[in-house]
Amino acid sequence: MFREKIKVFDCTIRDGGLINNHDFDLRFVREVYRALSEAGVDYMEIGYKNSKSLFSAKEYGRWKFCEDEDIKKVVEGAESDTKISVMVDVGRVDIEDVGPAKDSPVDMIRVASYVKDIDKAIFLVNHFAEKGYETTVNIMAISRALDNELNEALHQLEEESRAKVVYIVDSFGALYQESIEFLVKKFKGILKTKEVGMHAHNNQQLAFGNTIEAIIHDANYVDGTVYGLGRAAGNCPLELLIGFLKNPKFDIRPILDLISKEFIPLRDKIEWGYLIPYAITGILDEHPKAAMELRKGPRKDDYREFYEGLAGTDLD
């Protein structure tokens, strides 16, 4: 599908950092950035801008905090149209740590929020927009949001926020295509002055299909990660997304090289992607943290026991 307005947003380092405490080395992040630049990807989300008063720099790597100086080391010397994004979570950022956009290598700040905290998200995006950044609000765990609360949140975002894009985030990989169609149409029906985005998780192997469904119904900002890298089951694979879009500005070959050289070896070090425990959490609309803990233990492949424990029932 070719539609010029579609923007491809890569979250590889940010979502991948949820596996390894955001501790990718500079060389690896530079390789990802250069490949994305050569591939024509519109945005690269390089990590979180979290407060060091809440999170220890001894426990987390540099992409938990995304200091401007570290980002400059990634992008320096590269000729690129790929913009840089960072994410902030409501309640986890010190806004005084974020300087004006004119002095920063960061182009966009995305605010992740639950529906219940949308007023706080609006405060943050308006603050960052005032400093010159492009902004989005990413509504997390949308599969758990009550319809009336979501409607109210969307009206608030339309009327009160300076967000450029509002994202549907299927945090638990629980949604099916019918729900994606319903949500995109709802968002577009209320958000008359903003774009709609889609961020999908792959618990039930639906991240790519659900992203396509969002595109069909005119969501123009779509997220992916190289080789699906991300917490637990991971995300919509960027390479599939680029292949689907048929836009001549994108070149899949640098991404394929990157996967061969960097991501195949990485699979020997850390685990991500579709596995039965993550499928179970998606089916049950649960956070994958229980499945992640299971995969660390000695009974990591006891799928039925895990399902019955999580579902709270013995089907016998």
List the CATH number of the domain containing 88. 3.20.20.70
Q: Which two tokens stand for residue 174?
A: 């629980």
Quote the pLDDT of residue 2: 75
The reply to whether 58 and 202 lie within a common domain is yes
For 91-125, the pLDDT digits (tens) are 999 999 999 999 999 999 999 999 999 999 999 99
The reply to whether 64 and 212 lie within a common domain is yes
Quote the pLDDT of residue 1: 60
**Which residue matches tokens 């779509």?**
222
- How many domains does the chain divide into? 2
**271 belongs to a structural domain:** no
**149 belongs to a structural domain:** yes
**Which residue matches tokens 């039965």?**
276
What is the average pLDDT value for the chain, to the nearest integer? 96
Per-residue pLDDT band for 3 (boundaries 50, 70, 90) equals confident
The reply to whether 258 and 289 lie within a common domain is no
The reply to whether 62 and 174 lie within a common domain is yes
**Average pLDDT value for residue range 115-144:** 98
pTM of the predicted model as reported, rounded to 2 decimal places: 0.96
What pairs with residue 8 in β-bridges?
222
What pairs with residue 169 in β-bridges?
199
**316 belongs to a structural domain:** no
**174 belongs to a structural domain:** yes
The reply to whether 58 and 162 lie within a common domain is yes
**61 belongs to a structural domain:** yes
Length in residues, the chain: 316
Q: Which two tokens stand for residue 119?
A: 């007023």
Phi-psi region of 173 (alpha: psi -120 to 50; beta: other; left: phi over 0): left
pLDDT of residue 306 exceeding 80 = yes
**1 belongs to a structural domain:** no
**Average pLDDT value for residue range 260-268:** 97
Distance linking the first and last C-alpha atoms of the chain: 47
What pairs with residue 112 in β-bridges?
89, 138
Quote the pLDDT of residue 313: 62
Containing domain of residue 286, as a range? 276-311
For 61-87, the pLDDT digits (tens) are 999 999 999 999 999 988 899 999 999
**2 belongs to a structural domain:** no
For 15-51, the pLDDT digits (tens) are 999 999 999 999 999 999 999 999 999 999 999 999 9
**290 belongs to a structural domain:** yes
For 177-220, the pLDDT digits (tens) are 999 999 999 999 999 999 999 999 999 999 999 999 999 999 99
pLDDT of residue 314 exceeding 60 = no
Phi-psi region of 94 (alpha: psi -120 to 50; beta: other; left: phi over 0): beta
Phi-psi region of 273 (alpha: psi -120 to 50; beta: other; left: phi over 0): left
* Distance, CA of 51 to CA of 48 (rounded, Å): 9
The reply to whether 24 and 173 lie within a common domain is yes
Quote the pLDDT of residue 70: 98
The reply to whether 158 and 18 lie within a common domain is yes
What pairs with residue 223 in β-bridges?
9
The reply to whether 176 and 99 lie within a common domain is yes
The reply to whether 221 and 295 lie within a common domain is no
pLDDT of residue 283 exceeding 60 = yes
The reply to whether 303 and 170 lie within a common domain is no
* Distance, CA of 86 to CA of 46 (rounded, Å): 6
The reply to whether 262 and 287 lie within a common domain is no
The reply to whether 165 and 284 lie within a common domain is no
